[in-house]
Every structure is written in structure tokens, then in C-alpha cells.
Structure 1
Amino acid sequence: MHKIPTLFLRDPENRKRLLPEVAPECAWVTEGEGVATRKYDGTCVLRDEAGKWWARREVRPGRAAPPGYLALSTDPVTGKAMGWEPMGGSTFLRFHTEALAGGEDFAPGTYELVGPRINGNPESVARHTLLRHGWAAPEVAADFAAAPRDFAGLRAWVTARPYEGIVWHHPDGRRAKLKVRDFGA
């Protein structure tokens, strides 16, 4: 798990603002490659091949990593380390436990943990739930498949929808994202 790059470059004077220039590592999106999917607003969790659950965790420079932490990358701009914390030590454990209570058998992969106590529940779900990354209801998937891939078109498209944003998945594993808040909405 690496931090997903934002499709457009950030303004060096104001990192909350995007410039209408495509980030070089994301040019494949504007070239029509990859599949657009819905970005959910929760917290990322992972079920590994051994069946163990992990929570995404950022560790700021100068802070101690939690026990068992698996650092995967460091953001060169902020110095934050990104990685996985064992779910047993995560502050999200009780919400994750509730999400698992339905008895569903979750395949290895990444999921978004959403619910009443996660980020103010922007997904408006009644109970804590795990949503597989890349999954969407058919009508939502069709809407995302038709999303534009240029700056002005995407600004209008993402700000007109009630979602956190969009994530493109390239067949080779690369990803790119764009959040509605990137446009100040």
C-alpha cells in the first residue's frame, strides 16, 4: 500500500489547491487508460493472504511507530511514513469487529471501513461496514465509467456528486485519485 498520487499537480504555494497540470506519473489517466471507481470516505484496511487484518496508518516524522507496524513508503514532501498497523492495536478495532459480525467471508485485499463512528459517517451507513475497494453498485459503476478525464470536466463532474472522489485503477496496478475537496468543495 502506497499513497495514491493525485491526478493533478498541487500548487507549491498552497498544497490544498490543484493546478490544471497532470502529474507525470498519472498521465495514463488522461490518455484514457484505467478504470474509474468510486472513492469511499472511511479508513483503509487490509486482509492479507494469511487472513490477518491490518489498518492503514501514517506515522509523522519524529513519532514512534506502533508495535508490529509495517512501514511501506515515506512521503518525500511531508516525511510521513505510510504502512499497516495490526488491527488488534488500531483505534478502529471495535468498529472493524462490528463490520465483521455479519459473518461474511472476506477475500484477501483492501477494503474501506465506513460507519457511524468513522469520519463523521459521510457514507451515511447505519452500521460499520467493509466495502471492497473498486466495488460499486452497477449504476454507480456506469456513472464512473463515463467520467471525464480533463481538469475542467473533472472539476464539474466530482463536485456535482455526493462522493468523496474518484480512483482510477490501471491494469498494471498503478492508481491515481482525485477528491472533491481538491477543488475546494
Structure 2
Amino acid sequence: MQKILSLYARNYDTDRLVRDEVVPGSEWVLAGEGVATRKWDGTSCLVRGGTLWKRYDAKKGRTPPAGFEPAQEPDPVTGHHPGWVPVGDGPDDTYHREAWAAAGVALPDGTYELIGPKVQGNPEGMSSHQFVPHGDDILTDAPRDFTSLRAYLEARPDMEGIVWHHPDGRMVKLKRRDFFGSKRR
């Protein structure tokens, strides 16, 4: 899964929050294209051919582990180099394996968010580790303009953000903290 474009440009020189300026390539969201879905606060995973993979960012200067499959070329500015590594039997993969076992059935190929009590501090408030398919939780009431999106996310402190899915596969995201600076209030 490649890095997803943000909907709005960020003030990197000051407060790091977003401003009412659309990131090039994200204009289709404001044009009413695509479907808004809930962005879950966990860690991204991939199921492909019955194998579970976890996201790994081979940031600048970091050597990727064996089996790393890049999702895109390294970003020349930030140094981020996202990709996938197979989930193994080590302690770092315990919660992935718990969610995999809890699914009880073979998951279809696709991307998922691993959420649960030991993932990202459990902002989703889950009692067990589980996989949520990306793009399944559709937000039919999500607005598409800066002011309304800010109000929409402010009124939903339990939600990390929104990801718009275009029929051609493009995605754009907007996180609550992009407006307010903290993960959750």
C-alpha cells in the first residue's frame, strides 16, 4: 500500500496543521468523486494468497528486513519507503497472529487495519485484536469542504479520520489531528 495523499496542504514551517489548500492530485475529492470511509487507528496489513503481511517503513538509513517488498519508490524528500514484510512467529508479530487466529476463516485478499488493545495505545477501544477491511465503513454523511470537514471531525473525537476511495484505485486521507494537532481529544 503506497503512502496516501492528504487532502489538504500542511503548514510545515509553523503549527504542522492543515490549511484550506488542496494537495495536487486530491482535487477529485472536492469534485464529489469517490466514497468517504472511516480511517481506523491501527496498523496496516495485507492479505495476499493466504499470507499475512505487515506494513514496514524502510525510512532513510534503515535496512529493510528479509522479505521486504516495497510498495513504492522511496520518497526523496521524507525518506519514507513503505512496503510489506511477511508476518512471522516472532514477538513483534504476536498481535497480528492473534487477530489472524480470531478471524476464524481465511481472509480474502486485500488490505486491513489491525486494531486492538496492544496496537497504537488502543484508541479504538477494542477488547481483542482484529482486522478491519479498509474501505468497508462508508461515511455517507461526510462533507467535502474544509470548514465542514473540520466541524465533522471535531464532532467525532472517537474517529481517526476519513479515507476517500476513487473507483480507479486512488485514495486520499484526512486525519482529525490534521486540524487539531493531537490524535484524540
Shift of 1:96: 1.2
CA 90–67 in structure 1, closer or farther in 2 if over 3 Å, else same:
farther
CA 108–120 in structure 1, closer or farther in 2 if over 3 Å, else same:
same
Counterpart for residue 63 of structure 2: 64
Counterparts of 1:82-93 in structure 2, within 5 Å, are 82-88=82-88, 92-93=92-93
CA distance in 1: counterparts of 2:115 and 2:84, whole angstroms? 18
Is residue 150 of structure 1 aligned with residue 145 of structure 2? yes
Query: Residue type matched to 1:68 in 2?
Result: G
- After superposing the two structures, state which structure 1 stretch, 155-164 or 85-94, moved more: 85-94
TM-score, normalised on structure 2? Answer: 0.91
CA distance in 1: counterparts of 2:85 and 2:15, whole angstroms? 27
Aligned length: 178
Query: Residue type matched to 2:76 in 1?
Result: P
Shift of 1:26: 0.4
Counterparts of 1:100-139 in structure 2, within 5 Å, are 100-102=100-102, 103-136=104-137
Query: Residue type matched to 1:183 in 2?
Result: F
Gaps of 5+ in 1: none
Counterpart for residue 180 of structure 1: 176
Is residue 46 of structure 1 aligned with residue 46 of structure 2? yes
Shift of 1:76: 3.1
CA 94–2 in structure 1, closer or farther in 2 if over 3 Å, else same:
same
Counterpart for residue 94 of structure 1: 94
CA distance in 1: counterparts of 2:14 and 2:90, whole angstroms? 32
Counterpart for residue 35 of structure 1: 35
Shift of 1:91: 5.8
Instruction: Find the residue that maps to 1:9 and give its secondary structure.
Output: strand
CA distance in 2: counterparts of 1:151 and 1:78, whole angstroms? 26
Query: Residue type matched to 2:23 in 1?
Result: A
Query: Residue type matched to 1:177 in 2?
Result: K
- After superposing the two structures, state which structure 1 stretch, 110-119 or 92-101, moved more: 92-101
TM-score, normalised on structure 1? Answer: 0.91
Counterpart for residue 2 of structure 1: 2
Instruction: Find the residue that maps to 1:176 and give its secondary structure.
Output: strand
CA distance in 1: counterparts of 2:90 and 2:163, whole angstroms? 25
Instruction: Find the residue that maps to 1:38 and give its secondary structure.
Output: strand
Tell me which protein shows more helix as a share of its residues.
1
Gaps of 5+ in 2: none
Shift of 1:47: 0.4
Q: CA-to-partner distance for each residue in 1:54-76, whole Å, 9 max, x for gaps?
A: 10111111111111111222223
What is the alpha-carbon root mean square deviation over aligned residues?
A: 1.5
